[in-house]
Amino acid sequence: MSRIPRKRLGQGVCHVYNRANDRKWIFNSDKDKRKFLELLVRFSEEFTINIYHWVIMSNHFHLAVEVIDQGELSSWMSKVCSRYSLYYHKTHGGKGHLWEDRFKTILIQKSGYLGRLGRYIELNPVRVKITGIEYAWDYYWSSARSFTSDVDDPLVNKAFYFFWQELGENDKIRKKVYRQYLLDERERIMDEDLFRSTKKAIGDKEFLTNLDWQYGRISARKVGRPRSVVE
């Protein structure tokens, strides 16, 4: 995929997520999840984009994404979701809308918040108590494994991730520190309260003020109908 040059990295990222219509399980098997992941990877190569964290659950997904052009984010997500719909109906039958709505985005301040968003995303399988999943890195379909072990991630390039680089002087230390980061119970609860809110943007006062000044309102996109909260 095309990466955003370091000198062009901005101050914010997007928390992107979507859920299946009627909360139906649309990622029923490893084959389904693998197909969705393949689509994320394939179409990301067409755009200038950085992906920092991700998880694919049974009926929804979460991503922490950075783009220069919001239009590219829309094009990427539209391609991925529409192509997966075709795959799903061909494989499992049925027709009609697969997704609950257009994907949702929330602007997140990078400094001080991106790592926390990643932890919130990767702890989804632990929060919903999936059988056999005690720790975030036990779950195959998320970025947690690449931050805590030697597993290569098809979406995340850690060389472009400042939060990861600041965790230690080498990957061995960073992995150990990141495991502890995922296990911080007090901060985990704070993350849930923060990232499950209905805010259009999340960050400190200066970040939110700058957004309001730039866009005239704190919103990652045009206001639509009230969103549903997704774990």
**112-128, pLDDT tens digit by residue?**
999 999 999 999 999 99
- 224 pLDDT exceeds 60? no
- 223 pLDDT exceeds 60? no
The confidence score (pLDDT) of residue 230 equals: 53
Q: Flag whether 146 is in a domain.
A: yes
**145-184, pLDDT tens digit by residue?**
999 999 999 999 998 899 999 999 999 999 999 999 999 9
Helices (H), the chain: 30-44, 70-92, 114-122, 124-127, 144-148, 162-165, 171-183, 185-195, 205-215
**188-217, pLDDT tens digit by residue?**
888 998 998 888 899 999 988 888 777 665
Per the structure, the count of domains in the chain is: 1
State the residue range of the domain holding 101.
Answer: 7-202
The confidence score (pLDDT) of residue 11 equals: 53
The confidence score (pLDDT) of residue 198 equals: 81
Residue showing tokens 């950085």: 50
Q: Flag whether 221 is in a domain.
A: no
- Reduced to 3 states (helix: H, G, I; strand: E, B; else coil), residue 95 is coil
Q: Which residues of 48-74 are buried (b: 16+ CB within 10 A; e: fewer)?
A: bbbbbbbbbbbbbbbbbbbbbeeebbe
The confidence score (pLDDT) of residue 172 equals: 96
Give the pTM. 0.87
- DSSP assignment of 22-69 equals GG-----SHHHHHHHHHHHHHHHTTSBEEEEEEEE-SSEEEEEEEES-
Q: Flag whether 212 is in a domain.
A: no
Q: Flag whether 229 is in a domain.
A: no
Q: Flag whether 193 is in a domain.
A: yes
The confidence score (pLDDT) of residue 227 equals: 46
Task: Quote the CA–CA distance of 4 and 68 in Å, as a whole number.
Answer: 8
- 1 pLDDT exceeds 90? no
Q: Flag whether 227 is in a domain.
A: no
Q: What is the CATH number of the domain that holds 172?
A: 3.30.70.1290
